């Protein structure tokens, strides 16, 4: 049974700041194809705050950044895919407590880049009129690989500072 979320001013402020961090991170890394910090941040939010807060941060981040980068049917596919990835991480976290397993999270972060591309391709192929799915999907695989590498790097980079903030362990 999922834990009940206690909405507090601190939690709302954290969600707002994490959303802003995702937006700024995505906009700053936009010139690098498929490399952005959103997935890593959403995984940390999932582990430390829960799935619903992660979905809120993910949905808001995608909508806000797509106002700058371009809004379209892909916005809905991106939100759905990020939600599915957060649910997947939460499910794995029920089996293996992931907060203390950085190596496993790095693998999950990398694989999620590949899975993200696959899910986006499945969701968007019908809208683009794609007749042959597999060539369409495989043509995007190098970008999905870059997404996975970026996810793992950003997870490694942000895991300590974000987990410290979300567990209120501030450095003195």
Q: Does some domain include residue 113? A: yes
Query: pLDDT band at 166, cuts 50/70/90?
Result: confident
Q: Does some domain include residue 3? A: no
Give residue 20's domain range.
Answer: 9-166
Question: For 25-29, 54-58, 74-78, 99-103, which range has the lowest pLDDT when averaged over its residues?
Answer: 99-103
Q: pLDDT > 70: what percent of the chain?
A: 94
The enclosing domain of 135 has a CATH number of 1.10.1760.20
Q: Does some domain include residue 153? A: yes
Q: Does some domain include residue 74? A: yes
Q: What is the pLDDT of residue 8?
A: 80
* Per-position DSSP letters for 50-108, written without gaps between them: -HHHHHHHHHHHHHHHHHHH--SHHHHHHHHHHHHHHHHHHHHHHHS-GGG-HHHHHHH
Q: Does some domain include residue 90? A: yes
Q: Does some domain include residue 2? A: no
Domains identified in the chain, total number: 1
Q: 3-state class of 162 per DSSP?
A: helix
- Mean of pLDDT over the chain: 92
The string of pLDDT tens digits covering residues 64-90 is 999 999 999 999 999 999 999 999 999
> For 121-130, which contacts have Cβ atoms below 8 Å and span 24 or more sequence positions?
123/77, 123/80, 123/81, 124/73, 124/74, 124/77, 127/73
The string of pLDDT tens digits covering residues 90-130 is 999 999 999 989 999 999 999 999 999 999 999 999 999 99
Q: Does some domain include residue 18? A: yes
Q: Does some domain include residue 154? A: yes
* Per-position DSSP letters for 99-155, written without gaps between them: GG-HHHHHHHHHHHHHHHHHHHHHHHHHHHT-S-HHHHHHHTHHHHHHHHHHHHHHH
């Amino acid at each position: 049974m999922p834990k009940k979320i206690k909405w507090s001013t601190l939690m709302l402020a954290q969600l707002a700041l994490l959303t802003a961090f995702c937006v700024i991170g995505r906009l700053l890394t936009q010139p690098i194809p498929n490399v952005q910090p959103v997935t890593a941040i959403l995984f940390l939010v999932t582990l430390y705050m829960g799935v619903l807060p992660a979905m809120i941060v993910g949905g808001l981040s995608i909508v806000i950044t797509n106002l700058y980068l371009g809004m379209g049917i892909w916005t809905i596919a991106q939100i759905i895919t990020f939600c599915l990835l957060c649910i997947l991480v939460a499910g794995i976290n029920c089996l293996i407590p992931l907060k203390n397993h950085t190596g496993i999270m790095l693998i999950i972060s990398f694989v999620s880049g590949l899975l993200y591309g696959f899910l986006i391709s499945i969701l968007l192929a019908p809208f683009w009129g794609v007749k042959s799915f597999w060539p369409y999907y495989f043509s995007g695989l190098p970008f999905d690989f870059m997404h996975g590498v970026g996810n793992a790097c950003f997870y490694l980079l942000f895991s300590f500072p974000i987990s410290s903030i979300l567990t209120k362990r501030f450095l003195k």
